[in-house]
Structure 1
């Protein structure tokens, strides 16, 4: 709606236009005029008035015809029309109202009635414009909301995918490494098949098979849960990769999928912490009548690593003799022993106390394997003396 309201008066009698112009302008309205129906229709399309005062009896194009044209023109929107007729003929009034007029005045009209009708129609026009404006805003907000919802759905889908990806990663990676892999945005390439030098740690419980044969299944699960929970915390702390676990056996990798410095040293230090942790748990198990020990094997070498599986289930796996060697060394370890392959020991020599073992004949290896037993971390003064 214009400010001030714009009123178009259409009449072929100049005196009538003058009366309307003077009277309504005095009330602060903007008045535009037209002398016949054709001019009135043109001015309406050009000026888009807020109200039209339309005479019925005019040359060229009568008021009823003008009214029909106005109401069929979608570009004009809603413009109230008050018919001005010199006749009190009911047929003119009915025809005008049927054509779309909103009100009528019979000439000669009372000027006070004219002003009152104008105010009434302008209030209706203002309310109509307000509703239209609100409808347009609502439509725009609906459109924005739809776009926001689409964006939100995409974000939620992306976040769900990220959560699922993180969940898959954390099944075999420590949380720290999983976060780094996820943050890199290149988890796919990191988990693709590749070859790398890794330190492999294999550990399991001693006497576990005999324990499962005599203990109730619930007690077996209880011990396994304690065992996995205790070692899982250490795996996360040392940022290792849990390649697999089956029952009491665990195969743990260092230096993959993300490279890390001093990975063999990390493996040995974690092995010592594991040994101390399980020793504490074993004393509790012993009180419940379970004699369980713990052995560890460590090896250093190259392996092929990557994601294996199918669409519904993927795991991260290492393939190579180094994993078999760590497993065989673990088999040879007695309860409380950490056996480390000679090559791996030389990578940490001077950091840990150790004793050399007799060469071992291991299944799957043609030559005897040389190894050491890790006894503990070397004390600071011993390190200084050796230096």
Structure 2
């Protein structure tokens, strides 16, 4: 690298002396010099040569002195490291220069050996500052990219350590959430583009905030669908519990969002949520040019199919037994053994419940009715009928009653 040095001095012989003393370095390409005779000329020269690395400036010059030039250089966005040259006895000016941000000072008459050492020291400082700035910009760019996927805490940690093993594609135990909006296609076709843009941006932003509050990772946003991971990229021993708690809060936020837009005359569909836990292939799938942290595998597909199952069940959240078991102290009610598309074996699913509905009498009545359904007891139908009669808004109880009325038996559920 060639260091470019701007020398500002009105002495007529100085330019020739500098070029003579530094001729070898100039010939070797390690330094290059630009000259100006006062502060105004120096500022113009910097405009023409913005790559100037440092400035060596006398104080006493016509039109604009060195202290005024120093002040101008410190006001610029790209501050130039400046060495001030002054007579030995002019310590008050040297003190002023240092207080105004000068990097170092030299006394006149100039000792060229001292000048060379000062230039070398200043250039090392400039290079160190540039490297620090480069690292800072890289960290800021990394943080901006990572913030699309990770909570602020995780993004800051990942940006600080740079590339980590957690970004490499590998198999990992995770919990995953998949969300989708009912009747979204019809909404797209009926709502004005500017309204739809504001609607979807607010929705995705709010849902992402909820995910980040639980330190989840947003792996994908495809239109109205959101895929969330827990226990990736970092370890979260309570990952399944976080996923289920997050699903509750996503449901609460989405319901409030629907109500707000309903008051504005926009009918926004319900958000359906599927939660599953198991192994998945996780990492950056963006190659060398892009960053695309996501996950693939049967665990992800199952979460998506559990989300879709809500449409038939009448529920908004559907959690697999795998996620419920890993969470510990799970609160919810069994949906049944669902035969999901693409699977040969049924999967036990649950509707998670928060504390109040879980402890309510209606949940105990549902548990009794479901036990009869699972056992093939003929009393299942009247039990569900009584429950629906008392709680007409219980969509899951209504789903089972309809199945029984259509001749279905047991807790195994075949979805269309």
Q: TM-score, normalised by structure 1?
A: 0.61
Q: Corresponding residue for 2:203?
A: 227
Pair 1:195–1:153, CA change in 2 (3 A): same
Moved more, 250-259 or 373-382: 373-382
Q: Decide whether the 8 Å contact of 2:338 with 2:346 is kept in 1.
A: yes
Query: Which sections of structure 1, spanning at least 5 residues, go unmatched?
Result: 1-73, 75-125, 383-387
**CA displacement 1:13-45 (0-9 Å, x = unmatched):** xxxxxxxxxxxxxxxxxxxxxxxxxxxxxxxxx
Superposition deviation, residue 380 in structure 1: 11
Q: State the secondary structure of the residue aligned to 1:171.
A: coil
Pair 1:264–1:296, CA change in 2 (3 A): same
Q: Decide whether the 8 Å contact of 1:359 with 1:370 is kept in 2.
A: yes
Q: Corresponding residue for 1:302?
A: 279
Superposition deviation, residue 138 in structure 1: 4.4
**Which of residues 205, 220, 223 in structure 2 aligns to 1:247?**
223
Query: Does structure 1 residue 338 correspond to structure 2 residue 317?
Result: yes
Query: Does structure 1 residue 176 correspond to structure 2 residue 149?
Result: no
What is the CA RMSD across the aligned residues, in angstroms? Answer: 2.6
Superposition deviation, residue 167 in structure 1: 2.1
**Which has more radius of gyration?**
1
**Which of residues 260, 265, 268 in structure 1 aligns to 2:244?**
268
Residue correspondence of structure 1 range 37-116 to structure 2 within 5 A = none
Superposition deviation, residue 337 in structure 1: 1.4
Q: Decide whether the 8 Å contact of 1:173 with 1:242 is kept in 2.
A: yes
Q: Distance in 2 between matches of 1:264 and 1:161?
A: 33
Q: State the secondary structure of the residue aligned to 1:212.
A: helix
**CA displacement 1:66-104 (0-9 Å, x = unmatched):** xxxxxxxx9xxxxxxxxxxxxxxxxxxxxxxxxxxxxxx
Q: State the secondary structure of the residue aligned to 1:343.
A: helix
Superposition deviation, residue 319 in structure 1: 1.5
Q: Corresponding residue for 1:118?
A: none
Q: Distance in 2 between matches of 1:276 and 1:146?
A: 58
Superposition deviation, residue 336 in structure 1: 5.8
Q: Distance in 1 between matches of 2:184 and 2:315?
A: 14
Superposition deviation, residue 147 in structure 1: 1.4
Query: Does structure 1 residue 359 correspond to structure 2 residue 345?
Result: no
Q: Decide whether the 8 Å contact of 1:293 with 1:336 is kept in 2.
A: no
Query: Does structure 1 residue 374 correspond to structure 2 residue 360?
Result: no
Superposition deviation, residue 130 in structure 1: 6.1
Q: Distance in 1 between matches of 2:257 and 2:153?
A: 26
Q: Corresponding residue for 1:199?
A: 175
Query: Which sections of structure 2, spanning at least 5 residues, go unmatched?
Result: 1-20, 22-88, 90-105, 361-416
Q: State the secondary structure of the residue aligned to 1:231.
A: helix
**CA displacement 1:190-227 (0-9 Å, x = unmatched):** 21122111000111211211100111111111111111
**Which of residues 120, 124, 132 in structure 2 aligns to 1:147?**
124
Q: TM-score, normalised by structure 2?
A: 0.57
**Which of residues 281, 293, 302 in structure 2 aligns to 1:316?**
293
Superposition deviation, residue 349 in structure 1: 4.8
**CA displacement 1:90-143 (0-9 Å, x = unmatched):** xxxxxxxxxxxxxxxxxxxxxxxxxxxxxxxxxxxx9xx963336555444333
Q: State the secondary structure of the residue aligned to 1:359.
A: strand
Q: State the secondary structure of the residue aligned to 2:173.
A: strand
Pair 1:260–1:312, CA change in 2 (3 A): same
Say how many residue pairs are matched.
254
**Which of residues 166, 186, 210 in structure 2 aligns to 1:190?**
166
Q: Decide whether the 8 Å contact of 2:219 with 2:293 is kept in 1.
A: yes
Superposition deviation, residue 152 in structure 1: 1.2
Q: Decide whether the 8 Å contact of 2:139 with 2:162 is kept in 1.
A: no
